[in-house]
Chain A
Amino acid sequence: MADNQGSSLGRDFAAGAQAVLPLLLSVLPFALITGVVAVQLGFSAGVASAFSLVVFAGASQIVAMQLIHDGAPLAIILLTVAFINLRFTMYSASIAPYFRGASAGWKALAGYLLTDQAYVLGLYGFAERDGIGRRLAFYLGVALPLWFGWQVATVLGATLGARLPAAWGLDFAIPLTFMALVMPALRDAPSWAAAATGGAVAVAAHDLPWNLGLIAGALAGIAAGMAGARIRGDEPEAP
């Protein structure tokens, strides 16, 4: 019995790892770029690595290093990081019900490992998995390869430095990944309204300070989705 359960959790972990594999194609170049940027701004490979271990959030790492380099005050740096990473709080609220019943330690680990990719793949995978054990196994299968790859590739980027040509446009792989990830979420008219409004407002507000355009787009998109659902008279979903 215990063996069956163990191998079943192993299958859930493997399913998560299999789902995340193609995403590494875009995440690893982004981590490489993060390492390259660190060196270009005059930071050591050690500092680049410390950022990746402690903060573990690419866009905010790059912006924070730029701000340190520019001599910005700590409060401004933290405010900017908070706004860039505020979307994680929306993810956290969205995914939280699936982590009910986990110990405080597992919840802390799940929180630390929460990224755009782990959130979306986790959400899609949880829907078909009952029980906190299976969900955690699947989530770790997704999140641990992302984490490990991120750490290794940051150091590689910082070591290779400028030998990675910017002309390849590898940063473009990130929005491409998100494009594939967003499709399953576009399942009815209100979610299309959320996506169209979120994208348009984020573009219109792109020059707001502290990355507020992203938050404005996210909130406007959610509001548009809710308005669409209200017009259609949708019932709220579980969980």
Chain B
Amino acid sequence: MTGITIAAAGVLTFLLRWSFIGASDRLALPAAVRRALRFVPAAVLSALIWPAVLVSDGSLHLAPDNLRLIAAVVAAVVAWRTRNVLYTIVAGMGTLWALTAGFGL
């Protein structure tokens, strides 16, 4: 049963990924779709980031006692200024660990 699930999930995920790449020479997307796709990085990455920062255990944490929120704000400033993945991770994880140690949480 687990084997079938893995195989089916694998085929499904592959088809989702390969879909437009596989058809790229046969398929010219309409102009409206191309305009929409320009916003995929901004929209999708942001939709991945915000819940990871603001939602934990299924509920929303907007108050400053959400240490991840504070760490994320620090990291966002570093990301904006440097556009560097390494510096952003160091700033974000460093802030999170310092706050966790400081608050004894």
Contacts and interface: CB of A to CB of B under 8 A. Distances in A.
Contacts of B53: 175
Contact of B79 (A26, A183, A220): A183
Given A43-B2, A89-B16, A178-B49, A221 B42 contact: yes
Counting chain A residues whose Cβ lies within 8 A of the other chain, the interface size class is: 35 or more
B47 interface: yes
A55 interface: yes
A114 B24 CA distance: 15
Interface of A is mostly: helix
B13 A56 contact: yes
A95 B20 CA distance: 8
Given A181-B45, A195-B46, A108 B18 contact: yes
Given A89-B16, A89-B17, A25 B41 contact: no
A222 B34 CA distance: 11
Contact of B84 (A180, A185, A192): A180
A68 to B, nearest CB: 6
Interface stretch (A1-9, A77-85, A146-154, A156-164): A77-85
Nearest to B43: A221
A233 interface: no
Contacts of B63: none
Contacts of B27: 96
Given A107-B21, A198-B46, A176 B100 contact: no
A164 to B, nearest CB: 15
B43 A177 contact: no
Interface centre among B14, B39, B100 (most CB of A within 10 A): B39
A175 B52 contact: yes
Interface string B73-92: 00110011011111111001
B64 interface: no
B40 A91 contact: yes
B89 A176 contact: yes
A50 B46 contact: no
A64 B23 CA distance: 28
A226 interface: yes
Given A22-B89, A179-B76, A194-B39, 9 more contacts: A88-B17, A169-B97, A180-B89, A195-B42, A198-B42, A214-B44, A221-B47, A225-B38, A226-B35
10 contacts: A78-B8, A78-B12, A88-B16, A89-B19, A96-B21, A110-B21, A120-B41, A171-B52, A182-B45, A214-B44
Interface of A: 22-23, 25-26, 43, 47, 50-51, 54-57, 60, 64, 68, 74, 77-78, 81-82, 85-97, 99-101, 104, 107-108, 110-112, 114, 116, 119-120, 123, 167-169, 171-186, 190-192, 194-203, 206-207, 213-214, 217-222, 224-226, 229, 236-237, 239
